[in-house]
Chain A
């Protein structure tokens, strides 16, 4: 059993490392920022894949897409972010919105709108984790996060139809 603060510190270091590496090359524009975010997302993706592989080893197979999403909101979220998703909404056409009112990686950051501009870089990794998990459950998706007031956060999952 590891301790959550250790993970939080590690995550902070990873984010600041990836960003300082890009900004070391000079002024940072939107393109550089996008590169950083995608690097973090890719790291999360791999972690999500590994986690779901180990979690679903003994579980029966899912009956449909919604079943998978429910599993992600309950079991997966509890295991990774230590609480359930507060609200799951869907348009029944492959778009899901997962709302977490106290997202684990934002609670230490701010309680309100302060530092709102910094929030995206602390969510890229988690988006990747969710996408990686879904990917290994057979769903290709695009996951984005949206914050209007910390520590609440909305993840939008759009399933790609093949």
Chain B
């Protein structure tokens, strides 16, 4: 019985080279389409957001995880469950702000940037910016407004890749007028 369920879980696993290369093709295309890196970053974030708002459903359905009690728990689940499930890596969670509303995800190796080298004329491009959109979109669907940005990137010569996440506010559930 357990073996059976293992097999179905494995079926969901795929060749990550396909994903990495496809993502690379997308970034290349965007760099052709837009003149400056800022605009490419913005597009990647937007597309990531669109993925995030859908991905969260897939995630909640498959992980059977309920509502998070606090931001620390959210951080843990993102790093240990979500990143593991979708990218096969477990980033470490560090640099908590004293108030507990800000933390960093440190990625040892970034699967999105596996075969990538940035040319010199793209030094403001945030290659993996799709990820910040995904995180923002997914968390927004569970009533959390979060600010996500890359503060370090190995592609730009830093030692690690660091994503900074800042909790902004809890989104109130607004029912449309006249509905209970």
**Among candidates B21, B51, B85, residue contacting A3 with C-beta atoms closer than 8 Å:** B85
Binds A, one of B11-19, B145-153, B169-177: B11-19
Interface of A is mostly: helix
Q: A2-B88, A2-B111, A6-B19 are contacts. A47–B25 as well, Cβ < 8 Å? A: yes
Q: Mark A25-64, 1 if CB is under 8 A from B, else 0.
A: 0000000000000010001101100110010000000000
Q: In the assembled complex, which residues on chain A have CB atoms less than 8 Å from the CB atom of B21?
A: 46-47, 50-51
**Among candidates A1, A17, A47, residue contacting B22 with C-beta atoms closer than 8 Å:** A47
Query: A10, B23: Cβ atoms under 8 Å?
Result: yes
Query: B18, A7: Cβ atoms under 8 Å?
Result: yes
Chain A min CB distance to B44 (Å): 10
> Is A82 an interface residue when CB atoms closer than 8 A count as contact?
yes
Query: B55, A50: Cβ atoms under 8 Å?
Result: no
Query: A3, B22: Cβ atoms under 8 Å?
Result: no
Q: In the assembled complex, which residues on chain B have CB atoms less than 8 Å from the CB atom of A43?
A: 22, 25-26, 28-29
In the bound complex, how far is the Cα of B86 from the Cα of A82, in angstroms?
A: 17
Q: A5-B12, A9-B51, A9-B55 are contacts. A51–B18 as well, Cβ < 8 Å? A: yes
Closest to A80 in B: B18
**Among candidates A4, A13, A18, A47, residue contacting B14 with C-beta atoms closer than 8 Å:** A4
Number of A-B contacts (CB under 8 A): 91
Query: A2, B87: Cβ atoms under 8 Å?
Result: yes
Q: Which residues, 20 to 37 on B, are CB-close (under 8 Å) to A?
A: 20-26, 28-29, 33
Q: In the assembled complex, which residues on chain A have CB atoms less than 8 Å from the CB atom of B14?
A: 1-4, 7, 82
Q: Which residues, 58 to 88 on A, are CB-close (under 8 Å) to B?
A: 79-80, 82
15 contacts between A and B (CB under 8 A): A1-B16, A2-B20, A2-B86, A2-B87, A2-B88, A3-B87, A4-B12, A4-B14, A5-B12, A9-B55, A10-B23, A11-B22, A13-B51, A47-B21, A47-B24
Beyond A4-B13, A9-B55, A14-B26, 19 additional contacts (C-beta under 8 Å) are A1-B13, A2-B15, A2-B18, A2-B19, A2-B111, A4-B12, A6-B55, A6-B87, A7-B22, A10-B19, A10-B130, A44-B25, A46-B24, A47-B18, A47-B21, A47-B25, A51-B18, A79-B15, A82-B14
8 smallest A-B Cβ distances: which pairs?
Answer: A2-B16, A43-B25, A1-B88, A2-B19, A4-B14, A47-B21, A9-B51, A13-B47
Q: Which residues of B contact A (CB under 8 A)?
A: 11-26, 28-29, 33, 43, 47, 50-51, 54-55, 58, 85-88, 111, 115, 130
